[in-house]
Structure 1
């Protein structure tokens, strides 16, 4: 399984960027993006930034990853999924039988 990581660009030369997430830094390709600036949030798969993220989406993805880490460690993970804990799960429209 491959997870996309919401990383922040620390420095860039236009072809690659040093990005950070949860204390880890790695150099990733930014060739699929149009000159993302330092400080931009990007979604990274297999050391390639595939798209820009806004702050809200980056935080939701980061919370989900931290929640999974908490769950694997046997901790309560409700705080990471606050947008899901107070409602019944809903199927996407294309999976509902109407």
Structure 2
């Protein structure tokens, strides 16, 4: 399984760009998404950008990855802050699955 990591373009180039996330910078293959200007967020899999994302999407993905790190370390402290839209409420099925509950 491969997990995509949001990274920010800090030095664009031709076909490649230096991108940064969590204080680490790496040269990323940009050929699948095209050359992107400085400040663009991309979702990176195995040192290749696969998708251009908004800063909001990058933040949500980063929060989910931080929560995964906490869970793998055996801690749940701080997870609610990473998912403010979910904390403090009962989980809900999406509408396309809710219809199956009433039709049974």
Q: Do these two structures clear the TM 0.5 threshold for a shared fold by scoring above it?
A: yes
In the alignment, structure 2 segments of 5+ residues that lack a partner are none
1:52 counterpart residue number: 52
1:90 to 79, 89, 92: 92
Q: What is the TM-score normalised by the length of structure 1?
A: 0.86
* Post-superposition CA distance 1:76-95 (Å, at most 9, x none): 12111111112222223343
In the alignment, structure 1 segments of 5+ residues that lack a partner are none
Q: What is the TM-score normalised by the length of structure 2?
A: 0.82
* Cα displacement (A) at 1:43: 0.6
> Which structure would you say has the larger Rg?
2
CA RMSD of aligned residues (A): 1.6
1:3-82 equivalence runs, <5 A: 3-73=3-73, 74-76=75-77, 77-82=79-84
Number of aligned residue pairs:
98
